[in-house]
Amino acid sequence: MSRRVVITGLGIVSPVGQSPEQFFGNLMAGKSGIKHVQSTFADRLSIRIAATVDDFDPAAHFSKIQLTGIERFSQLALVAAEQAVQDANLVLDESEYHRAGVYMGSCLGGAGTLEDGYIEVFTRENPRVKPLSVLLSMNNAAASHLSIKYHLQGPNITYSTACSSSAIALGEAYRQIKHGYADVMLAGGSEAMLTLGAMKAWEALRTLAHEDPSDPGASCKPFSKNRSGLVLGEGAAVLVLEDAERAIARGAKIYAELAGYDCSSDSSHITKPDSAGQTRTILNALRDAQLQPQDIGYINAHGTATQAGDIEETKALKQAFGSHAHAIPVSSTKSMHGHLMGATGAVEFMAAVLALQHQAVPPTINLHQHDPECDLDYVPNLGRTNVAMDAVMSNSFAFGGTNAVLIAKRFVP
């Protein structure tokens, strides 16, 4: 069995917007969500910038009792999912519960709860850890909360493959529907790892961007000669995926068709990216979508702004697309929303889907000094409108070498 899979709902809570419309509008405007960290531990950081969701108020969405059992990364996921379900006007009949599921991605899950617990245990003579610490911090908490809220009795899986976690969640959800195991899936990712411990660990890895002396929002510079690394972020994105026939029958709004996906491993190095593995993943995704390289009208790049990563991705795009690589607009929206780790694949795929819907390409901001080794059309600084495109691609290339590529195209019944 092979069925078509469509996207009928979008929801997002991000550093540059808390709705799909606000998110994409700010991307097109080149608005950065990267700022100085305002946490009480900021003075203990060497690098004090991050892409934070500062205006998210949990009390506006959850009762005090609910908040005792729902960690920040789950809160973000629940709010994003509520947007997506409402956007899709999705109502499941009780007979459909077992044909609907949820796949989510996250790297650290309830990082805040874990850190609070460790501080309590290792700094106090008589530690009193929160009774619900295990349930708050487990990586699958967000997906489980979504399953319970929406009565999703089908597959419920959380993926943790570093930067590609939510892209793989989307791709595997697509396969569930495509091959007949489910009719509806909520899929995406959530991350809230901006804790002292996590940020100090990333500092130690020496992959974080240095703060731009003139503007913290200009610190992430993908594909630029003077790039210095990635900027950590937080947020969540959830999409409603649906069997096309079901969506049409109920008169659903359809954003696009999720038409192609592949995941594979570089199988070479735990941190160093490999263009050969990325190329293989891109070509396999194109094959799955039954598209040619020239059919892709926009690529949302992984584009972390690390020295090796941006060069290897440029090589992979050239290897996969040949001479057409120079004709495709490619941008890294991480320059604005930062790197949301386990959530970033879903956030960036949503940006690509909205680009297809609006026929508009968001820019790579802070790209003023072009790296000669990154010589593709990286849409520097200004978004583009009236860009004719029928298909878009989103790349997610993770630590550990787990690559994922997603392709969406215009839906034609």
| Backbone torsions φ then ψ of 157, nearest 5 degrees | -135, 140
Structure tokens, 42: 């900021």
Nearest one of 266, 255, 283 to 393, comparing CA atoms: 283
- Known catalytic membership, residue 339: yes
Q: Are 285 and 407 in contact (CB under 8 A)?
A: yes
Determine contact, residues 281/262, Cβ cutoff 8 Å. Answer: yes
Phi, psi of 237, rounded to the nearest 5 degrees = -140, 135
**Residue from 163, 220, 263, 374 carrying the catalytic annotation:** 163
Element (H, E) at 60: none
Q: How far is CA 325 from CA 252, 307, 313, 360, 394, in A?
A: 35, 20, 12, 18, 14
Task: Give the DSSP letter of residue 326.
Answer: G
CA distance 10 to 12: 7
Residue 360's contacts (CB-CB under 8 Å, 6 or more residues apart) are 28, 383, 384, 385, 386, 387
For the record, the structure tokens of 52 come out as 């934070």
Q: How far apart are CA 17 and CA 359, in angstroms?
A: 20
Assess whether 163 carries a catalytic annotation.
yes
Residue 173: closest CA among 108, 104, 254, 248: 104
Q: Which of 107, 263, 337, 339 is catalytic?
A: 339
Residue where the block lists tokens 């007949």: 180
Count the neighbouring beta carbons within 10 Å of the beta carbon of residue 218.
17
Pick the catalytic residue: 107, 302, 337, 374? Answer: 302
Annotation says 324 is catalytic: no
Active site residues: 163, 302, 339
